[in-house]
Structure 1
Amino acid sequence: MASWKLVTFLAVAVSCTSALEVRHVRSSRVSAASTTELPTAPFSIALTDKAPRSSYKKQLLRELRSGGKSKTAVVDGSGDDEEYLTDIVVGGQSFKVIVDTGSSDTWLADKGFKCFTLDNSPQPAADCFFGTTGFDTSKSKTFVPLPDTNFNISYGDGEFLTGSVGFDTVTVGGLTVTRQEIGVVTAAAWEGDSINTGLMGLAFPDLTSVYNGSNPDLDGADNSLPYNPFFFSAVQQKAVSTPVFSVALNRGTFAHQANTTFDPDLGFLAFGGIAPVAVTKRSATVPVQGFATSSGGSEFFYYAVDIDALVFPGSTAKTTIKAPTIIDTGTTLNYVPTNIAKAFNARFDPPATFVEDEDTYYVDCNATAPAFSAKIGGVEFAVDGRDQILPFLDENNDLVCISGTQDGGPDEDDTIFIFGDVFLHNVVATFDISKNDIILTERASY
């Protein structure tokens, strides 16, 4: 059987995992036609796809449940998953970066960065497989360093990024933010894709990864320095009149997913309104779920929502998810509770096969996927069967397929589940950071 490495770009501040046990529950609001309430975004940019990476996915969920005390963020990469990339200009220099609603930092590899293996041995810079030689701060007329700080993200599989911190002018899709805080990666253990040179995170400030002091070995909760991510800065600077951003992720064709590494037309990232794609009038406005803290307050880290129920042949009214589910562009697959994944995958024709040592459901590439819907905010959003069979080429260059809905672990209060691109191909997700709401709008058939 092929080796499938399950991965995500979801970032998690491990010191906050204890806060995830008690949620501050906010009620949902159903809107039958919220598309009329959202302006068309004045700033938008096409998304591109995709580049294979190698990194172990299930480590993420173990890290989430571990209750670790380090404040260093944990991020896992996207191996044989789809990375949605966009163009970004920083200090007058252009790069392709990963678009990620599951983390918060904007970071770029520095020109002259040092590359390491996962066991921390030096290796040639080319072996980190960034898409360019890196960001040259000396050629930026607007870069201002932030002294006595460091940028530091570690990874569940041993990857890491460390470096310096600074401010610069950042432009994405025509939207410009001045003095945006960014990470400049000077040391990386990174299994790259030869296309992107960094990442743009769109989640909340408390997931950022900047620390006081210059020694990353001393980083922890006590010296964390949260800051405004790119879109939060845009709103603060009044660069947009409506405090929402929106993503519409197109699915690729089966042949494209199996055989190519890049596609220039796979949707939109939009700022200030809804992404410019055809939608229906089915929509729901749902609150982002905050998490209680030991001080009695509530904080927001990533875009977690409550799922009312999952509906598929054989499901029941009790097919619900107790724990919050993260809406994450940086993860390809859906990760649902163990019992739901088992019941759903049994409904493929022929049934999916669970490979225990890989913790993965494989399917026949010509299988028929069962119907599947997620009821969110009182509205059912169907997932197209085309999104439930994901092809890739194994180490022998043979075509194999996995299910788009995988086992995310037991449905317990301290567990976090994920709706990734498999779900997002079927909706436009619009994130309102002023109200901490997500508007999910059904896409027209495409």
Structure 2
Amino acid sequence: MLIVLPLLACAATALRSAPFPQNYGDYTVSRIPRQRQKAQPSELKITENVVELTRARSGRSLSSTIVHSMRQFGRSRVSRVANGTTAIDAVAGGQVFSASVVVGGGQEFSVVIDTGSSDPWLVTTDFICRDVVGHTVQEQSYCGFGEMYDPSRSLTYQPISDLNFNITYADGEYLTGDLAYETFTMAGIEVQNQQFGVVDRAAWFGDHTTAGLVGFAYRSLVSAYAGTDLSTDSPSTRCLYNPLFVNMFENENIAPVFSMAIDRDLDKGGVMALGGIPDIPHSPHWVSVEIEPVGVNQTNGQEVYEFYTIEVGGYAYSNVSGPQFNVYDNANPTKIPVVQNSTRAIVDSGTSLCYVPDAVADALAMAFNPPAWWSSDNDAYMVDCEATAPVFGVVIADKIFYVNALDLIVLVEEGQCAMGVQPAQGGLSILGGTWMKNVIAVFDIGAEEMRFAAREFYSIS
């Protein structure tokens, strides 16, 4: 039987970022051009295609590495922090979520879920582990992978010739290997002939549980390159292919949406639904806002990460009981005005905290009782663990999504707490875990919009 495999488009189809970039030291952030015709918004239906998310006990998320590099470049405050020397680093380092995937009809793996990269990849049982800094060969356990992929155990594994897989992350981690076709099943959805990276060399800070990664970003960030000589890999030799979720909605009759609901309980991760929303309690009121995808490029022009950004209508905060806010741009003496109208923010589950314009964070810190204080040792606002938190919310599409007071005080270590909302310090504003624990976040890739509903009976006005 003749099997027709998906084609990989190389070289001429590589996409360039839009003009007018923003520079953050070693990184440039640019608008990603639209890659397909914009579709009508998908109807949000409860789906059974749901996978449980597990929160890793250790490890820095890929997105937080870039976020903090850009914050350090824009820093306007004095800081004495050295990498990894403070207790808050474990919180500020982000959060890594993983999920289960079945490959080749029988091998089940835990993989990192990453909305900022595109490739699915797995490490093989015979891979060579190297140190990130010195690049010396190490024992496989040094790289910290869990159970690894064995191509010889699969009846559906098909190698792809004359291509190589090559990806380097912002913190120095890197992976190389080959490309192949394989059958992937996630959340009950099977995709045959899925292209993926077969990693045989890795420098990786693993969590001793996951064996790879599945990316949910646009396909412009895939890491397949023409030829087998890694030294010739460049943006001009990149070969585009459909990531796993793109193949799901293009070929498996799945709506082009995925959604996430993050759990506050650290022993749990949350849920991710593919093609719809999970069956969990939430407000009946939804809002929608256009996605503006942006790419993060290194100084050599290589794109290394992508973020989903949205327009934020402002931030609401008050230390009075039952405040009434004015979300509109007009004078209303009976209501408290929101601040920092019409800014852009990244929606990122991999960032634990929220990062907002400095003036917003400063004012919010003063609204705690007792007030939070700036710690140059931690490069963060710290707060009394027993403090009374103010009301805080984020305005999206003229609706305020409030953050539960429990999420505004983050335990760093025994007797030491940080504010769940921190200053961006000239970097990008981030709606991270502090805020995302309070919503269902829907990524409608087809319509290029995000939708949000408040969760667990949290207020939405």
Q: Which residue in the other structure is 1:307 paired with?
A: 312
- CA–CA separation in structure 1 for the residues paired with 2:15 and 2:203: 20
- 1:303 deviation in Å? 1.9
- Say if 2:61 and 2:351, in contact at 8 Å, map to a contact too: no
- 1:291 deviation in Å? 5.7
Q: Which residue in the other structure is 1:95 paired with?
A: 109
- 1:374 deviation in Å? 0.6
* Map 1:283-362 → 2, pairs under 5 A: 283-290=286-293, 301-313=306-318, 316-320=337-341, 322=343, 324-356=344-376, 358-362=378-382
Max radius of gyration: which structure?
A: 2
- Say if 1:108 and 1:198, in contact at 8 Å, map to a contact too: yes
- 1:58 deviation in Å? 5.6
- CA–CA separation in structure 2 for the residues paired with 1:377 and 1:290: 18
Which residue among 118, 121, 126 is the counterpart of 2:136?
121
AA partner of residue 373 (structure 1): G
Structure 2 residue 255 is matched with structure 1 residue 207 = no
Structure 2 residue 373 is matched with structure 1 residue 367 = no
Q: Which residue in the other structure is 1:136 paired with?
A: 150
Please give the TM-score of this superposition, normalised by the length of structure 2: 0.75
Q: Deviations over 1:44-80 (max 9, x none)?
A: 12222232115794654546999xxxxxxxxxx9976
- 1:350 deviation in Å? 3.0
Q: Which residue in the other structure is 1:72 paired with?
A: none
Q: Deviations over 1:212-249 (max 9, x none)?
A: 23233433221122322211110111342x22211111
Q: Which residue in the other structure is 1:417 paired with?
A: 429
How many residues of Structure 1 are paired with residues of Structure 2 in the alignment?
389
Residues 65, 204 of structure 1: alpha-carbon distance in 2 compared, 3 angstrom cutoff: farther
- Say if 2:382 and 2:417, in contact at 8 Å, map to a contact too: yes
- 1:16 deviation in Å? 4.3
Q: Gaps (5+ residues) in structure 2?
A: 1-13, 23-29, 35-40, 74-89, 296-304, 320-335
- CA–CA separation in structure 2 for the residues paired with 1:15 and 1:351: 46
- 1:403 deviation in Å? 2.3
Please give the TM-score of this superposition, normalised by the length of structure 1: 0.78
- CA–CA separation in structure 2 for the residues paired with 1:84 and 1:276: 20
Residues 179, 106 of structure 1: alpha-carbon distance in 2 compared, 3 angstrom cutoff: same
Which residue among 42, 47, 51 is the counterpart of 1:41?
47
Q: Which residue in the other structure is 2:442 paired with?
A: 430
- CA–CA separation in structure 2 for the residues paired with 1:313 and 1:409: 22
Which residue among 386, 389, 400 is the counterpart of 1:380?
400
Q: Which residue in the other structure is 2:81 paired with?
A: none
AA partner of residue 269 (structure 1): M
AA partner of residue 172 (structure 2): G
- CA–CA separation in structure 2 for the residues paired with 1:360 and 1:64: 12
* Map 1:144-223 → 2, pairs under 5 A: 144-223=158-237
Q: Which residue in the other structure is 2:262 paired with?
A: 249
- 1:89 deviation in Å? 0.8
- Say if 1:113 and 1:125, in contact at 8 Å, map to a contact too: yes
Q: Which residue in the other structure is 1:7 paired with?
A: none
- CA–CA separation in structure 1 for the residues paired with 2:91 and 2:146: 15
Q: Which residue in the other structure is 1:296 paired with?
A: none
* Map 1:394-405 → 2, pairs under 5 A: 398=414, 400-405=416-421
- Say if 2:443 and 2:449, in contact at 8 Å, map to a contact too: yes
- 1:107 deviation in Å? 1.7
Residues 188, 203 of structure 1: alpha-carbon distance in 2 compared, 3 angstrom cutoff: same
- 1:386 deviation in Å? 1.4
